[in-house]
Chain A
């Protein structure tokens, strides 16, 4: 570890400890961040990196330790959001805290301050001039009066960063980013990483919490790996994604490529959809054989999610023929689809998946409630037993099955979301971004359980913006563009570059929307 006397560190954390109830989250963390450059903070679920950031931000009150920012040393126990800001720390969280239906200028002014004419009246011309300068400085291609919602995801994040740093004079602030690319498609996270690297080259100090190791490899100068609330490694040269992954998982990663257990192509398919028309999807053929995992790739708006929703009875199907196990299948509601043996894990875990205030047990039991009604009562013991089984099989890290699921980390929540359907042994499993915001360790565990489901003969459809995920998990990948299948690729023989090119070359993000 670097010596604590390193003079050029602008942010130093020493002996930071934090416990929640009886659980130790941070057991004495030391961290040195040098001036100018990108310092990546890595670690698995529950490794403590979020807790660390929140302690530095003063959102959580640490038990012991100190934080030094420049020349100021603050007891970590006395850190407050206000003190952190006053000391020159700027945070951009995953939830950017911005409003899509406000203009860029308004969003920036809300975070900083509206320049006022007199006491109340907003001086719009001054604000727009100020914001235009800021946008130029950060290379954001937008006008102050553009609605924030009309910007691409990466540009929105850049606006949030510009807003956070709006009042610095000469890169003296320290920018801390918490998983800025978690919700961005590959192309845009590339853009964002590029922009961050530019800022760092101009002398900005950036601390980056990230799950995507490829990005870290690309732009970080230094990486600190946390494990079980302690710093387990620090690397300042030769940052390789594979090496980082090994440090994070600290176990050999599950083989990146799927073991080629080629499914029986001659067996009658589980799902055969022909000429599927629904919303923006204009005539798509999808066939999924038993034991086959089919990926859906494509840019935003290409129709990935719509196809899954249509197959689950959650989006009206306008035309086309769908067969499930050879029988006509046209679900009118999710309930219908569930009854036919179809399962769906939506992309939006928080708003469409979790019952956050209900226990892990209840979140699991909810897919088979009627099955627990025995002798005119709910069989709690059976629920308990099944929930424990799911927790064990999916390696969910939770204090007990009675813990409210909202208190679990994202990866563990996602394992429950999968596990509650796996239990029903669905014929067809539909997954939308199954590992979004999930760390490496949980990710390989989720892959393993998806594979075990397909090995039992079920069909699986995975929609994802993560190319590595599609290549690692799928047998075939359908590349969608403008609501039709542009390519049908065999994952085993497709190189990553080919897949990227197939998705990117499709002109969907440029083509104007046609009028019916």
Chain B
């Protein structure tokens, strides 16, 4: 009997203690999940009342401009999410977007191809780039950090060679019309991006494929040992990334009426920042679409506010750099904590 007494009292007290602990950590966790969107709201509120920026900041015109400009970054950010979830960087996504924009613009302006064919060519370019990226990582087991950086450099070089550093202009009218049209007060491209975002969210959270990517990203060897086909799934993740980046490139053409000779880094870094910032919200410690969207908006709202307040050009870069550093730091801390590596 003496051995049973503590046994009984333990089974009574433990669930209660655990429940109260769960409740307490539950509210803490809720604060943590919503810290990033709350910060976004604070930034927006601040610049709405801040004297130097309040006249323009919250106007529908500014919101429309910001969202239109960010739609491209948002697409690139969601694109790199797929390899990131599977545990790989894709530094070539920015260059892929620009490359696709050059293909689409050149198709229309230099070869007089119909809009649909030109855009299709841009998408095919994306599939090819993604296939190379994916095969290099999944079959030849190269480190994606290095191989995609190589791909980015290669694409940047090809863009330079083909354009000679000049913008390609003279694309078809229907394309620019689409890019500049609004619908319910927002640029039409925003809706295109929204559809892609929802599709990506669905794939990552509500399909066995998406869930397998998270498993691969968490522990590749363990994922193989539970029967997840690593090479194929990794390849698909890279192809998805490049195709989404190509869509971003097509949107660039539609919005700017051409293609600029650029290496794409100005797209890549805000996208990386947003993806890592996104891991601090909603599902702390893991890459997720909703967090990434808030991450992009947070950076955009801050930069727009700073610009309207009369900050210098360099502030943009400094802000982006700091945000990336903090985001990566927080992201890896949160992940380590989930793994139980911190006390």
Contact = CB atoms under 8 A, between A and B. Distances in A.
A373 B206 CA distance: 8
Q: Identify the 7 closest CB pairs spanning chains A and B, nearest first.
A: A22-B21, A406-B340, A338-B227, A406-B339, A369-B208, A356-B339, A355-B218
A329 to B, nearest CB: 15
Interface stretch (B113-121, B179-187, B209-217, B288-296): B209-217
Contact of A60 (B3, B7, B335, B343): B343
Contacts of B224: 314, 333-334
A352 B215 CA distance: 12
B340 A355 contact: no
Given A334-B227, A338-B226, A406-B340, A358 B218 contact: yes
Interface string A355-373: 1111000100111011011
Contact of A21 (B25, B218, B338): B25
A265 B194 CA distance: 63
B228 interface: yes
B18 A22 contact: yes
Contacts of B338: 356-357, 404, 406-407
B222 A357 contact: no
B18 A339 contact: no
B229 interface: yes
5 contacts: A22-B24, A351-B219, A356-B218, A357-B286, A369-B212
Contact of B225 (A227, A353, A399): A353
A366 B211 contact: yes
A59 B17 contact: no
Interface in B212-246: 212, 214-215, 218-219, 221-229
A353 B222 contact: yes
A400 to B, nearest CB: 6
Contact of A366 (B226, B285, B340, B341): B226
How many B residues touch the partner, as a band? 35 or more
Interface of B: 3, 6-7, 10, 17-18, 20-22, 24-25, 205-208, 211-212, 214-215, 218-219, 221-229, 285-286, 335, 338-341, 343
Given A362-B214, A406-B341, A314 B225 contact: yes
Interface of A: 20-24, 54, 59-60, 227-228, 250-251, 312, 314, 333-335, 337-339, 344, 346, 351-358, 362, 365-367, 369-370, 372-373, 376-378, 399-400, 404, 406-408, 420
Contact of A335 (B24, B208, B229): B229
Nearest to A407: B340
Nearest to A345: B225
Contacts, number: 116
Contacts of A372: 208
A358 B215 contact: yes
- DSSP majority for the B interface? helix
B340 A404 contact: yes
B213 to A, nearest CB: 11
A333 B228 CA distance: 10
Contacts of B228: 335, 366
A236 to B, nearest CB: 22
Contacts of A420: 226
Contacts of A377: 206
A335 B233 CA distance: 13
Contacts of B223: 355, 366
A372 B214 CA distance: 16
Most chain-A CB neighbours within 10 Å: which of B24, B219, B223, B228? B219
B141 to A, nearest CB: 16
Contact of B22 (A24, A367, A373, A399): A399
Contacts of A346: 225
B206 A378 contact: yes
Contacts of A369: 208, 211-212
Contact of B3 (A54, A250, A333, A344): A250
Nearest to B341: A406
A156 B340 CA distance: 27
B205 A23 contact: no
Contact of A23 (B3, B18, B225): B18
A60 B214 CA distance: 31
B166 to A, nearest CB: 47
Given A337-B227, A366-B211, A378-B207, 5 more contacts: A22-B25, A355-B218, A357-B218, A378-B206, A400-B22
B51 to A, nearest CB: 45
B190 to A, nearest CB: 26
A173 B95 CA distance: 60
A365 B211 contact: yes
Most chain-A CB neighbours within 10 Å: which of B207, B211, B221, B224? B211
Most chain-B CB neighbours within 10 Å: which of A365, A369, A373? A369
Contacts of A400: 22
Nearest to B20: A22
A24 B20 CA distance: 12
A337 B229 CA distance: 12
B299 to A, nearest CB: 25
B211 A355 contact: no
A91 B335 CA distance: 27
